[in-house]
Amino acid sequence: MSGHGKQLLAAGHVTNYHESGKGQPLFLLHGSGPGVSGWSNWAKTMPAFSDNWRVIVPDIAGFGFTPYQDGLKYDIKLWVSHILGVMDALDISKASFVGNSFGGAVAIGLALFAPDRVDRIVLLGTPAGDFPQTPGLRGAYTYEPSMENMRELMELFPHDQKLVTDELVKSRYEASARPGAQEGLRKLLPAPAKEGVTVVKGFPATALAKINVPTLVVHGREDRVVPPECGLLIANTVPNADLHLFGNCGHWVQTEQAARFVSLVREFLSEQP
């Protein structure tokens, strides 16, 4: 199977998604960046939950194989309404969400704007508050498709460089080199400032304090893409939040600490309210 999965229409977007398993609905929301898709972020994680959950992995509007549409304003409200549209199309009234980086911001948006549709959220390496744009986030915008450039960008993400395999670089490069893919991605990411520091803005503490669903925050201590301080801000501000900081771990928690990540999330999702 490749990044292409099934298709449905959600909030006006022909949406690519993957699904496996039965049980309580669990959405895995991907991050952003060149060549990203739900499949590239979550293919290896899906089987770890599909014994007990109905796992749904959508390509969020404008990313992966869910095409970018000219004339729309892509922002957190659009992405939240898109995921709600996916839920409606699949007849899901309430779900839990595991959000990776940008996907974590979408999960926060869902918890704030549609709390009645959200059971629990898990946030991996998720931006919050204001922080200086890192080379990894800047590189996602400035990236020009080539194998060499993709390897250079990918190497900023994990703590252990050995995770940046030829196979990973090739698959992400090929997805990033599709006609119009990088130009489309730039329309979805904050542009770096011409000079000086670019400030990345995540949800502020005042918004985070209003989240009322159980929240698990996981972050890599060596995350050089979204600073661990973001995870700490979320954990310190969301009323019902726990934080797990993984040592020897960068921005790819679900890959770098796969077994421990799965065990932690399974336990969190299985807790009785």
| Domain residue ranges in the chain | 6-133+199-270
Asked whether the predicted pLDDT for residue 273 surpasses 80, the reply is no
pLDDT digits (tens, 9 = 90+) for 152-176: 999 999 999 999 999 999 999 999 9
Asked whether the predicted pLDDT for residue 225 surpasses 80, the reply is yes
To the query of whether residue 244 is one of the catalytic residues in this protein, the response is: no
- Residue 98 pLDDT level (bands cut at 50, 70, 90): very high
What is the DSSP secondary structure assignment for residue 47, as one 8-state letter? Answer: G
pLDDT value of residue 40: 94
Q: Quick one: 84 exposed, middle or buried, by C-beta within 10 A (0-12, 13-18, 19+)?
A: middle
Can you tell me the distance from the alpha carbon of 80 to that of 176, in angstroms, rounded to the nearest whole number?
24
To the query of whether residue 223 is one of the catalytic residues in this protein, the response is: yes
What is the value of pTM for the model shown?
0.97
pLDDT value of residue 2: 66
Half-sphere exposure of 189 (CA within 13 A, CB side): 27
Select which of 40, 81, 101, 176 is catalytic. Answer: 101
Select which of 30, 219, 223, 244 is catalytic. Answer: 223
To the query of whether residue 116 is one of the catalytic residues in this protein, the response is: no
Share of the chain above pLDDT 70, in %: 99
Q: Assign domain 6-133+199-270 to its CATH superfamily.
A: Alpha/Beta hydrolase fold, catalytic domain (3.40.50.1820)
Can you tell me the distance from the alpha carbon of 59 to that of 24, in angstroms, rounded to the nearest whole number?
20
- Residue 260 pLDDT level (bands cut at 50, 70, 90): very high
pLDDT digits (tens, 9 = 90+) for 109-148: 999 999 999 999 999 999 999 999 999 999 999 999 999 9
